[in-house]
Amino acid sequence: MSTPLLFQPVRFRSVTARNRIVVSPMCQYSANDGLGNDWHVQHLGARAAGGAGIVFTEATHVSAVGRITPHCLGLYNAEHQALLGRLAGVITQGGSVPGIQIAHAGRKASSQVPWQGGKPIPLSEGGWVPLAPSALPSVPGATDPRALSGGEIGDIIGQFAATAAMAREAGFKILEIHGAHGYLGHSFLSPVSNRRNDAYGGDADGRSRFLLEVVEAVRGEWPSELPLWVRLSCSDWVAGGLTIEDTVALARRLAATGQVDLIDCSSGGVSHEQTIPSHPGYQVPFAEAIRHRAGIATGAVGLITEPTHAAEIVANGRADVVLLARAILADPGWAWRAARALGVPADVPSQYLRAGL
């Protein structure tokens, strides 16, 4: 039997991954002042040793005010960079390509960690004022965000570029800009959260300006031989919000820049009124539509748990890679199990051969 496409190498620019299984960015909410620790090292190291082709850090924030919670990972000073360099090294040692997702939480900043309820933290309890395109809170009762001035938008674009430079120096080989889930990039894109009437608001051209300028600034620091991905929410799942048609049009613009190599296709997050028809693979049609209609590689994500399902997605050209979160959180060796299920020799470290995998 020929090797299933899922387990064939995939190349983006100068970077080749051993297979098309990607560990999706998954926030661990375990950092202090943006600085990670041994939890992050063992967490990502285990998933690299577990056979995935590409392993991403969690959302890594470009500023303190841009963190989702007080315990989110950051990359905006030298101390952060040293830890991130260790993370890139341990992922590489495990045989995976190290990827980093860089982010700004925007109006969803200053929140509790999920296991404490995930609610906005009041200013009186140590919270901070979030930043956003418009002064619209993410949920009722949250602190009103401060609408960014044009100069402040430029400053944040510069923060993305500075973080990209530090990521390059730390040894990461793929960089992803987070433009989804209601965070800052997405909140500029969506008419639900962007009510500006200047150059960064209004029609789709204005609302996409921030993201396009971030891409350009990041590319100024990210080497031309290394791939750049963008995560998008392909649908807001709410009336008046973004639809797949809007996202296909945006993906075409990103592809036309020649700067972006893959669209990581997620959805939702901008409105607490969203209604998502969640089921295994519910977001795969987004990846398929963008791949075929925008002419750019895509990643499929969203309740993909079974090896045969993952293999079908790439075999049928619905996406170029699959990104796993919950399944690989529960089973760091998911790629080994998938290989065995699909009749492929598992890429098991010598130290683990006695496990009989």
DSSP per residue, 87-138: HHHHHHHTTSEEEEEEE--GGG-SB--GGGT-PBPPGGGT----EESSS--S
Which of helix, strand or coil describes residue 232? strand
Contact 36, 251 (CB under 8 A): no
Structure token digits, residue 105 = 């939480």
- Tokens representing 50 are 């577990």
* Token pair in block for residue 115: 């296991």
Q: Please, what sign has the CA dihedral across residues 168, 172, 178, 184?
A: negative
249: CB partners within 8 A, 6+ apart: 204
Q: Which residues contact 354 (CB under 8 A, 6 or more apart)?
A: none
**How far apart are alpha carbons 45 and 261 in whole angstroms?**
25
Tell me how far apart the alpha carbons of residues 106 and 129 are, in angstroms, rounded to a whole number: 10
**Which DSSP category does 354 fall into?**
G
CA distance 303 to 298: 16
Please tell me the distance from the alpha carbon of residue 185 to that of residue 182, in angstroms, as a whole number. Answer: 8
Nearest-angstrom CA–CA distance, 287 and 291: 6
What is the rounded distance in angstroms from the CA atom of residue 28 to the CA atom of residue 205?
A: 34
Tokens representing 13 are 């620019």
| Catalytic choice (183, 200, 282, 352) | 183
- Annotated active-site residue 183? The verdict is yes
**DSSP letter at 120?**
B
Contact 41, 87 (CB under 8 A): yes
The residues carrying an active-site annotation are 183
